Amino acid sequence: MKISTEVRGSAVIINPKGNLMGAPETEDFRQVVREHLDAGATKYIIDLSNVKWMNSLGLGALISAYTSVKNKEGVMVITNVSDKVKSVFMITQLIKVFQNYDTVDEALNAIK
């Protein structure tokens, strides 16, 4: 898995590519979020457009990141979720926890 990041305005956009299914992918994801939290970032957009599949470990990594961001009084949203990945969010009811936007630009406008 590759993870790219981009800062637009005050938001950090994290774009994982591949499957988010376990170590080392989930640890890499957590590390990226930790680094930005340590640098003081409080707004995160997780762009899932390039995530092909996610299992419970991937969901756990997202929940862990979400909790860490919330504990720092920040906001974390997800965007570009494929129907296949969205089904996992719906089955687990996590679709009610994460704010979900169709595009990164839509998410940027929402978290300003």
Specify the pLDDT at position 104: 97
Report CA-CA distances (Å) from 98 to 1, 13, 15, 24: 22, 15, 16, 23
For residue 103, pLDDT over 90 is answered with yes
pLDDT digits (tens, 9 = 90+) for 32-66: 999 999 999 999 999 999 999 999 899 999 999 99
Distances (CA, A) of 103 to 27, 32, 46, 72, 79: 25, 21, 10, 25, 6
Full-model pTM = 0.94
Mean residue pLDDT of the chain comes to 94
Can you give the residue ranges of every domain in the chain? 2-110
Contact 9, 108 (CB under 8 A): yes
Overall fold of domain 2-110? Transcription Regulator spoIIAA (3.30.750)
Nearest to 104 by CA among 44, 59, 24: 44
Beta strand 2-8 with 11-20 is antiparallel
pLDDT bracket for residue 21 (50, 70, 90): confident
- Whole-number pLDDT of residue 29: 93
